C-alpha cells in the first residue's frame, strides 16, 4: 500500500524518515541490544535520549535559558487543569475564547478560581479569533489563549498586548509549524501529536519565575501535575512516555535538518495558501475561517450540504486521501497540513476537489449557500503568505 | 548486537515477536498506508485497535462485565491522586504500607481526606508485606495496597479480608504475571511498563458501582482524571497514547497465545525460584525479602558491600546483563523477571552470579553480614512454587 495522503488533525502524519529510523532501531537501539521501549528511564542511554530531545527543541525554538521544558502526559486536557492549579495564585485569570479548546480550558479553570472571558468569538460561530477590546487588568494571574484553533481553523497571527500579565498559550496545532518568540509567553503547552511526535506527550515550556516553591493551589494539586517538581526532576519524577519522547527527538532533528522553523513556516503557508486560494474561487466549497484569522495548519471548509460533505469524504478514501472529515462539533471538512504533510498531498487534494466540483456543478448552482466562498474571501495581501 | 538480558524493573523487556511486528507495521499498518502513530484516534481503524486490546485483556484476565477498563496516562503516580479524588466519598480510607509505592500513594491520599495506615512494614525495612491485625472499619471508602512492591521485591500472595470495603490495588509490577480474581477488587490499576507494554499507559479496572455520577471530590477533580467520564468515552475523552495501547494489545495477544496467565505464572515462579534457591545457599549474596513475602517478579538481593554491588553491576554489563542495579531508595541489586524475560536470561544471570561469587570467596568470608542469605531463607514449602 502506498503511504496515505494524511490530513488528520492529530494524531497526524509523521516524517517517513523518522518512521524508518524508528523501525530500524526497534530491536536494537544503537547497540544497546534493546528497543528504546525496553530501556530503563534511569539508564544513561535513555538520559541521553531525553537530554538530546530537549536540547534539540531548545535550538529549533530558540528557547531562552530562563524557561523550563517539560514532557508530560495526559494531553492538553490535563493541562487545562494544570495551568490554573499551578499558576492561579490570585485565583483570577482571563481567557480569550476562540473555539472548542479555549472554551474547554476556560470551563476547567472556572473550577479553581475566577476565570473571566476577556473576549469571545462564539457569536460568529468562532469563524475568527476574538481580540481584546480594552487593556488587561494587571491584577490577573495570566491571560490564556489557544493560538491556533484546530476545530475552526483559526489562528492568532499577532499576540494580544497583556501588559505585564503572563500570556499562557495552547499552541498544540501550530507547535513547530512556524517560529514563535518564546519570550513573549509566560507558558506554552502543546500536545505533540500534530507536528512533534506520537500522541502521549504534552510539552510545557514555562518561564522560571512563574514556578513558585509550590503550585498555586498548594497541597491539593496531584503531585504529578506540579510543574516545579517535574522541572526539578527533568520530567522524570515518575516514568515518562519514553518512546514518545524518543520519537519527538527524532522529529525535532528532522525539522532542524529540514531548515528549521523558518523553512517549516514557508512550506506550510505555501501549502495552505494553495487550498485557501482554491476555496476562495470555488463555486462549490466554502471556507469557514475568516481570511485574517486563517490557520497555518487547519483548513476548514464545507460543501453545500452534509450529504455532499459525506460524499467528498467517501470519494477521498478511494484516492488514498484520509482525515479530511471536519471535527464533530463543527462538521464539514478539514485538511490539516502539518509539517509532515508533503506538497504532493496538497496536489492530490486539489486535484480531487476540482474533479469533485466539476461533477457536482448542479449541486453548486442549486445550493442555497449564503456563506459561500467569496463572502469569506480576503484579498491576498490580507492573508499571511509565506511569512 | 545480540538482544540484551534485560532485568530492568520497568520500562522492561517486551516480547521480541511484538517488537518485530511493530517494526514491520511501522510505515503501513494493515494496508492503511500509515503508522498507527499517524492514525486519528477517531478513525475506524484505530477504534478497532483499542477495542481489540480491551477485549483481549478482558479474556486473559477474565474481567467480569461489571468492571470498566480504562487506558489512562500519567503513570501510577497520577493514580495515587485519582483514586482518592474519585473514590474517597466519605473522605476516609485505609492504607497498607508495604514499601516505597504504597507510602507515596498514602501520602498523596492524605491531601484529600483522612488516610489511615492500617498496617506498615516500615519497621522491618519493608522486607515483608504487612498484614491487618484487626477487622477493617466498615465505614472506610476503600482499603488500598500495592500488591507487589517493585523496590523491595515483596508481594501479597493472599489478599486481606476487608469485609465489604472495596479493595484498591496497585498491581503494576505483577500485572499479567499471574492470574488474579478481579472480582476480589474494587479497583485495580497498573502502569503497563512491566508486563503489558511501553511506558505511557496506566490501565485502570474499576467496578461499575464505585463510579458515581461525579468523582468523590466533585468539581475540583481535573476532568481528565474522572473515571466515570473516561469510562463513558471509552478512554477517549481526549487523545490517548494510541501507540502504547496498540503495543499493549499485541502483548495481550502474545500472552494469550503463550498459554495465558496460568502459563505466565508457571514460567515466572520457575524463573524467580531458581534465583531464590541460589540466593538461599549463597555465601556471598543475601536475599532482601522474607521468604513468605517474596515477589513473583522482582528478586532483590545484595552483596556484602556497596562496592561489591557496584562491581557486580559493572561486570554484568560485560555479559550483556542489564538492569540489575537496585532502586535508588534501597540500593543493592535487583533482577526483575517479567513475562518477556526468557529462561536463558536467568541461565546467564545465575552463571554470572556463580562466577562472581567464586572469585570473591574472600569477600564473603570477610564480610560482616548478619542479614546473610540463610537468615532470610525459608523452607521450599513455605514459598509459592509454580503455583
Which pLDDT tens digits describe chain B residue by residue (387 residues)? Answer: 799 999 999 999 999 999 999 999 999 999 999 999 999 999 999 999 999 999 999 999 999 999 999 999 999 999 999 999 999 999 999 999 999 999 999 999 999 999 999 999 999 999 999 999 999 999 999 999 999 999 999 999 999 999 999 999 999 999 999 999 999 999 999 999 999 999 999 999 999 999 989 999 988 999 999 999 999 999 999 999 999 999 999 999 999 999 999 999 999 999 999 999 999 999 999 999 999 999 999 999 999 999 999 999 999 999 999 999 999 999 999 999 999 999 999 999 999 999 999 998 766 665 544 444 444 444 333 445 543
Mark yes or no for CB contact A11/B239 under 8 Å.
yes
The annotation status of A150 as a binding-site residue, yes or no, is yes
Backbone dihedral angles phi then psi of residue A257, each to the nearest 5 degrees: -75, -15
| Mean predicted confidence (pLDDT) in A219-226 | 95
Is residue A161 predicted with pLDDT exceeding 50? yes
Instruction: Please list every residue in chain B whose beta carbon sits closer than 8 Å to the beta carbon of residue A200.
Output: 73, 200, 240-244
Over the stretch A129-150, which tens digit does the pLDDT of each residue have?
999 999 999 999 999 999 999 9
The annotation status of B101 as a binding-site residue, yes or no, is yes
- The share of chain A scoring above pLDDT 70, in percent, equals 93
User: How far off is chain B from A335, nearest CA to CA, in Å?
Assistant: 13
Mark yes or no for CB contact A199/B242 under 8 Å.
yes
pLDDT grade for A371, boundaries at 50, 70 and 90: very low
3 state DSSP class of B193 = coil
Task: Answer positive or negative: Cα dihedral of B80, B85, B90, B91.
Answer: positive
Q: Which helix (H) or strand (E) holds A59?
A: helix A44-61
Q: Supply A363's cell numbers.
A: 449541486
Q: Supply A270's cell numbers.
A: 505555501
Cell match 522541572: residue? A231
Domains of chain A with bracketed CATH: 17-257 (3.40.640.10), 260-382 (3.90.1150.10)
Instruction: Please list every residue in chain A whose beta carbon sits closer than 8 Å to the beta carbon of residue B238.
Output: 75-77
pLDDT reported for residue A195:
97
Instruction: Please list every residue in chain B whose beta carbon sits closer than 8 Å to the beta carbon of residue A70.
Output: none
Tell me how many residue pairs between chain A and chain B have CB atoms under 8 A apart: 225
Of B3, B37, B76, the CB nearest to A27: B3
CA atoms within 13 A on the CB side of B331: 11
pLDDT grade for A363, boundaries at 50, 70 and 90: low
Of A12, A112, A320, the CB nearest to B33: A320
First vs last Cα of chain B: how many Å apart? 36
pLDDT reported for residue B384:
54
The annotation status of A239 as a binding-site residue, yes or no, is yes
Task: Answer whether A93's CB lies under 8 Å from A116's CB.
Answer: yes
Task: Answer whether B154's CB lies under 8 Å from B102's CB.
Answer: no
Beta partners for residue B189, in sequence order: B170, B204
Q: Which helix (H) or strand (E) holds A308?
A: helix A306-318
Over the stretch A256-304, which tens digit does the pLDDT of each residue have?
999 999 999 999 999 999 999 999 999 999 999 999 999 999 999 999 9
Any catalytic annotation for residue B194?
yes
pLDDT grade for A360, boundaries at 50, 70 and 90: confident
Amino acid at each position: 500500500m502506498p503511504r496515505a495522503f494524511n490530513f488528520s488533525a492529530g494524531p497526524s502524519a509523521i516524517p517517513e524518515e523518522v518512521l524508518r529510523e524508528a523501525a530500524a532501531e526497534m530491536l536494537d537501539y544503537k547497540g544497546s541490544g534493546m528497543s528504546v521501549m525496553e530501556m530503563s528511564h534511569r539508564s544513561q542511554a535513555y538520559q541521553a535520549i531525553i537530554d538530546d530531545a530537549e536540547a534539540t527543541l531548545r535550538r529549533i525554538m530558540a528557547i531562552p535559558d530562563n524557561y523550563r521544558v517539560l514532557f508530560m502526559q495526559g494531553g492538553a486536557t490535563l493541562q487545562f487543569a494544570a495551568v490554573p492549579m499551578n499558576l492561579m495564585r490570585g485565583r483570577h485569570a482571563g481567557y480569550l475564547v476562540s473555539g472548542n479548546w479555549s472554551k474547554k480550558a476556560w470551563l476547567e479553570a472556572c473550577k479553581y478560581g475566577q476565570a473571566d472571558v476577556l473576549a469571545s468569538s462564539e457569536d460568529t460561530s468562532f469563524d475568527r479569533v476574538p481580540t481584546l477590546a480594552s487593556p488587561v487588568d494587571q491584577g490577573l494571574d495570566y491571560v490564556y489563549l489557544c493560538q491556533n484553533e484546530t476545530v475552526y481553523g483559526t489562528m492568532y497571527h499577532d499576540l494580544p498586548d497583556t501588559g505585564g500579565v503572563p500570556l499562557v498559550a495552547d499552541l498544540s496545532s501550530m507547535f513547530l509549524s512556524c517560529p514563535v518568540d518564546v519570550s513573549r509567553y509566560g507558558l506554552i503547552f502543546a500536545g505533540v501529536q500534530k507536528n512533534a511526535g506520537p500522541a502521549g506527550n504534552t510539552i510545557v515550556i514555562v518561564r522560571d519565575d512563574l514556578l513558585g516553591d509550590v503550585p498555586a493551589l498548594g497541597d491539593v494539586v496531584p503531585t504529578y501535575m506540579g510543574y516545579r517538581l517535574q522541572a526539578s526532576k527533568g520530567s522524570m519524577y515518575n516514568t515518562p512516555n519514553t518512546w514518545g519522547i524518543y520519537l519527538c527527538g527524532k522529529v525535532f532533528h528532522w525539522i532542524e535538518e529540514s531548515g528549521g522553523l523558518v523553512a517549516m513556516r514557508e512550506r506550510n503557508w505555501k501549502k495552505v495558501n494553495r487550498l485557501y486560494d482554491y476555496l476562495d474561487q470555488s463555486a462549490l466549497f466554502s471556507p469557514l475561517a475568516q481570511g485574517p484569522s486563517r490557520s497555518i495548519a487547519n483548513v476548514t471548509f464545507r460543501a453545500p450540504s452534509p450529504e455532499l460533505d459525506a460524499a467528498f469524504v467517501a470519494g477521498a478514501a478511494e484516492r488514498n486521501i484520509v482525515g479530511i472529515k471536519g471535527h464533530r462539533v463543527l462538521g464539514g471538512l478539514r485538511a490539516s497540513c502539518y509539517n509532515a504533510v508533503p506538497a504532493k498531498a496538497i496536489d492530490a487534494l486539489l486535484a480531487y476537489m476540482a474533479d469533485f466540483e466539476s461533477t457536482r456543478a448542479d449541486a453548486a448552482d442549486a445550493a442555497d449557500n449564503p456563506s459561500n466562498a467569496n463572502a469569506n474571501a480576503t484579498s491576498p495581501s490580507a492573508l499571511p503568505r509565506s511569512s
